[in-house]
């Protein structure tokens, strides 16, 4: 067992039963010129998470941990796009429309794919999810169950939306999550702080929060 300095207390894990889950590091959320930026957001707040996540990804691969990537998006025919998600925000250019990086959050489109810096390697599962949570309408739970995964190391964007939703879903399904705070990002600094606090409050009501460096140190020793 490895032990990582974290809050509310140390996170103990075995790399064989712990997976790295990188949530929605997609061009449309993170890259300059994408959908996120077109909505007026400062993508540099999300981009800060790329380099530390890259280090965690390298280390997890070297250790042979299961690495799972998720992407938020929809079928080309939008048959899995609920009407409320389509109309929410009253956007002129929204999900399914032609955006700056081709059709927004549509599978197979340029902006929907994962940024080059964190490109999945062959053999690493990619979970395409229609919702904010990684477990909703996906085969993630059975994939983790079949591989004996009990714990998740979590990176990705955005902290208060897809990361938080996925951590809550994971927790209810019996998985322990450690969220690496320098590897997650939000367009809103106050939400970054609040959503990490919510996870680790009340004795770790949804999970643990830590930093990538102690995780890398623990993994090196494991």
Quick one: 162 or 180, whose CB is closer to ligand TIU? 162
Q: Which residue is catalytic, options 24, 28, 176, 182?
A: 24
Quick one: 67 or 161, whose CB is closer to ligand TIU? 161
**Residues β-bridged to residue 71:** 128
Quick one: 158 or 212, whose CB is closer to ligand TIU? 158
CB of 102 to ligand TIU, least distance (A): 17
Quick one: 95 or 144, whose CB is closer to ligand TIU? 95
Cβ-contact 17, 151 below 8 angstroms: yes
Contacts of 111 (CB under 8 A, 6+ apart): 26, 27, 28, 31, 34, 35, 99, 100, 101, 102, 103, 104, 105
Cβ-contact 89, 40 below 8 angstroms: no
C-alpha distances (whole Å) from 202 to each of 8, 13, 154 are 8, 21, 20
CB of 132 to ligand TIU, least distance (A): 6
| Residue 31 annotated among the catalytic residues of the structure | no
| Residue 24 annotated among the catalytic residues of the structure | yes
| Residue 155 annotated among the catalytic residues of the structure | no
Burial class (CB in 10 A: 0-12, 13-18, 19+), 92: exposed
CB of 157 to ligand TIU, least distance (A): 6
Quick one: 103 or 132, whose CB is closer to ligand TIU? 132
Q: Which residue is catalytic, options 18, 155, 162, 183?
A: 162
CB of 165 to ligand TIU, least distance (A): 8
Q: Which residue is catalytic, options 85, 129, 132, 200?
A: 129
Q: Look up tokens 């025919």; give the residue.
A: 77
Q: Where are the beta strands (DSSP E) in the chain?
A: 2-4, 6-7, 11-13, 18-23, 66-72, 98-99, 102-103, 126-129, 151-157, 176-185, 208-210
Residues in touch with ligand TIU (CB under 6 A): 24, 29, 72, 132, 157-158, 161-162
CB of 215 to ligand TIU, least distance (A): 22
Query: Catalytic site residues?
Result: 24, 129, 162
């Amino acid at each position: 067992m490895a032990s990582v300095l974290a809050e509310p207390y140390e996170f103990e894990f075995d790399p064989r039963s712990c997976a790295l889950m990188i949530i929605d590091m997609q061009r449309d959320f993170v890259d300059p010129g994408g959908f996120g930026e077109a909505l007026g957001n400062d993508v540099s707040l999300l981009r800060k998470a790329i380099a530390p996540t890259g280090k965690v990804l390298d280390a997890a691969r070297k250790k042979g941990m299961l690495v799972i990537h998720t992407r938020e998006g929809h079928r080309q025919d939008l048959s899995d796009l609920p009407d409320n998600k389509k109309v929410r925000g009253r956007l002129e250019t929204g999900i399914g429309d032609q955006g700056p990086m081709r059709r927004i959050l549509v599978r197979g489109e340029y902006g929907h794919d994962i940024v080059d810096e964190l490109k999945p390697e062959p053999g690493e599962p990619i979970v395409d999810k229609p919702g904010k949570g990684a477990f909703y309408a996906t085969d993630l739970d059975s994939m983790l169950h079949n591989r004996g995964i009990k714990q998740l190391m979590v990176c990705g964007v955005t902290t208060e939306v897809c990361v938080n939703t996925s951590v809550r879903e994971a927790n209810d399904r019996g998985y322990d999550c450690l969220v690496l705070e320098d590897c997650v990002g939000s367009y809103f600094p106050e939400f970054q702080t609040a959503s990490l606090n919510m996870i680790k409050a009340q004795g770790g009501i949804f999970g643990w929060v830590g930093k990538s460096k102690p995780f890398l140190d623990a993994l090196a020793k494991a």
